[in-house]
């Protein structure tokens, strides 16, 4: 059995969890939003006493190792959904580099990252965005959502516009991230 899969998920107040047996779908609704996740039939779902418990269906034809992997996976995905609809997830990124700027109008974000043209990205309605540019400080972009996977995907897309480089440390970084720096050619020649 999976160590993570065995852990019960406690349901906070204000969050409702429903399971549809026909489609094997868990839907979670809370103050921050509503999410749903399809679960493999080899995993049993149980909701009792304000806790969600996942277990492996022994009669399922799926390979046992695969069942163990599914056990931990679906427990983690549903736990992320419960935390997301109750508390939400937040990621902060900063743009390090001369002339790098970011601004937004609603969910359309404009980046100026040293290319010949600005980069525009339309964010989904589930993601809230806030940009901040202060004098003598790096521009900051803050993203909030109840869906952890979607938020991570969007952060990866934004980071891919200008990946951090190891020589000057320029690029789009997560707040507090430390880039391992390399010495340039002059240091290697000595």
Tens of pLDDT, residues 132-189: 999 999 999 999 999 999 999 999 999 999 999 999 989 999 998 888 888 888 765 5
**Taking residues 24-35, what's their average pLDDT?**
94
Q: What is the pLDDT of residues 113-133, one digit of tens each?
A: 999 999 999 999 999 999 999
Per-residue pLDDT at 9: 92
Q: Following DSSP, what letter does each residue of 3-50 receive, concatenated? A: HHHHSPEEPPTT-EEEEETTTTEEEEEETTEEEEEE--TTEEEEEETT
Per-residue pLDDT band at 62 (split at 50, 70, 90): confident
H-run or E-run covering 72? helix 64-86
Identify the pLDDT of residue 64: 85
Model confidence at 28, pLDDT cuts 50, 70, 90, reads: very high
pTM (2 d.p.)? 0.88
Residue 5 has pLDDT above 90, yes or no: no
What's the CA gap between 23 and 39, in Å, rounded?
9
pLDDT for position 188: 55
93 by DSSP, 3-state: which? strand
Mean pLDDT in residue range 61-68:
85
Q: How far is CA 178 from CA 53, 100, 143, 174, 183, in A?
A: 38, 19, 20, 9, 16
81-85, 95-99, 105-109, 186-190, range with the lowest pLDDT = 186-190
Residues of the chain above pLDDT 90, percent: 71
pLDDT at position 25 over 70: yes
The whole-number pLDDT of residue 61 equals 81
């Amino acid at each position: 059995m999976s160590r993570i899969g065995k852990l019960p998920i406690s349901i906070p107040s204000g969050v409702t969890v429903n399971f549809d047996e026909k489609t094997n779908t868990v839907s979670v609704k809370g103050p921050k939003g509503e999410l749903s996740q399809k679960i493999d039939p080899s995993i049993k779902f149980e909701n009792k006493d304000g806790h969600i418990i996942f277990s492996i269906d022994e009669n399922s034809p799926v390979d046992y190792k695969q069942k163990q992997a599914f056990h931990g996976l679906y427990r983690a995905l549903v736990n992320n959904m419960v935390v997301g609809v109750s508390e939400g997830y937040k990621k902060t990124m900063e743009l390090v580099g001369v002339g790098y700027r970011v601004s937004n109008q609603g969910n359309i974000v404009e980046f100026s990252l040293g290319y010949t043209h600005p980069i525009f990205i339309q964010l989904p309605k589930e993601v809230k965005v806030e940009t901040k540019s202060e004098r003598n400080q790096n521009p900051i972009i803050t993203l909030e959502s109840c869906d952890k996977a979607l938020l991570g995907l969007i952060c990866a897309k934004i980071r891919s516009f200008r990946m951090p480089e190891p020589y000057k440390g320029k690029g789009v970084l997560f707040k507090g991230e430390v880039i391992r720096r390399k010495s340039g050619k002059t240091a290697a020649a000595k």
